Homo-oligomer: A and B are copies of this chain.
Amino acid sequence: MAVTLKDIAQRVGVSVTTVSRALGGYEDVAEATREKVLHAAEELGYYPSATARQLQKRRTDTIGFVIPTFGPRFSDPYFSELLAGIGNEAARHNFDLLVSTRSPDSPEEEEAYHRLVDGRRVDGVLVVRTRIEDSRLAYLTQRNFPFVAFGRSQANEDFPYLDVDGQKGLRDVVQHLIDLGHERIAYVSAPLNLTFATHRLAGYKQALEESGLAYDENLVVVGYLTEEDGYQAAHRLLSLPNPPTAIAVANDLMALGVMRAAHERGLNVGHDVAITGFDDIPLAAHAHPPLTTVCQPIYDIGQRVCRMLIQVIKGEPVAERHILLAPTLVIRESSGATHQ
């Protein structure tokens, strides 16, 4: 049995109220009693019950985070790093983190949100990888529950979010490929129900258009963000009668798969074919050859998004409700820049 305020109260011979207030640092308790209370607490090894506190204060000091995963298992380094950013920032503010992993748009995902929100297990939630029609966003706004999204949505709903300008990111990287002389540039996209996927695709198109290159829909294929899907997409693209000389990819994990397919076909990446990614996961710099990509500071994003959420929860004014970060192009060897 854990030690409670009552135990201390009995030991010291004072009321529970006084113990609570002594421990809480209130002014209306005599220095002598405070010390006795402190001693007793120390001696008995008192540690307040989080649950009791939560019930009384009607807040949990916990934030919820449901990670959308394709398939039960996943290992996108992207999420580990985002999680670290969120978790460490939460800890700094004395918040806990309740995590679930669910596949997107599934009944299980919906249930997870109900559990967190309706069950009042958390004070706010973080939504990532937003979708064009996003039931999570709809639910949370309708419930008027504190949340912050990493990513925008289709509609012009007004919720606080932070996003990376994927359109600019892809425009820049494709422009980079064009500068290197490429004219047949393929694109491995993410599923287009994901908001960021549409932005990145738009960036791809924009770059082509700005340089007067035609958009060829045969050069665009969709993958579910895994290495394996990138691998397969690349094989499809490279089997075309008139294969691309460059392949831009919507995320690094798929780009790694694309590189593997290229290698398998005896192509020299960065020479015979240019390949680029998006995210700049740690492995990107360490790929073979190192991957040209678009850097979004995932760890920082996790921190910032978490900080925003805590502000929302506390009802503090949020400096910026809508943040759009400009990603930066990171040129490495896979795009062949060094060979030019």
Q: Which residues of B contact A77 (CB under 8 A)?
A: 75-77, 80
Q: How far is the CB of A73 from chain B (nearest CB, A)?
A: 4
Determine the chain B residues whose CB is within 8 A of the CB of A76 once the complex forms.
77, 80
**CB neighbors of B among A50-101 (8 A):** 50-52, 54-55, 60, 62, 69, 72-81, 83-85, 87-88, 91, 96-101
Instruction: Let me know if A159 is at the binding interface, CB within 8 A.
Output: no
Q: Are B75 and A87 in contact (CB under 8 A)?
A: no
Bound-state CA distance A85–B74 (Å) is 9
**A residues apposed to B, CB below 8 Å:** 2, 45, 47-52, 54-55, 60, 62, 69, 72-81, 83-85, 87-88, 91, 96-102, 108, 112, 114-115, 118-121, 226-228, 231, 256-257, 259-260, 263, 281-283, 286-288, 299
Contact with A81, one of B62, B73, B119 (Cβ below 8 angstroms): B73
Q: Which 5 A-B pairs have the closest CB atoms?
A: A75-B77, A47-B118, A50-B119, A75-B80, A75-B81
Q: How many copies does the complex hold?
A: 2
Give CA–CA (A51, B99) in the complex, Å: 17
Given contacts A98-B97, A256-B283, contact A60 B51 (CB under 8 A): yes
Q: What are 11 residue pairs bridging A and B, where the CB atoms are less than 8 Å apart in the complex?
A: A51-B51, A51-B120, A72-B299, A75-B77, A83-B99, A84-B101, A96-B115, A98-B98, A256-B283, A257-B286, A260-B288
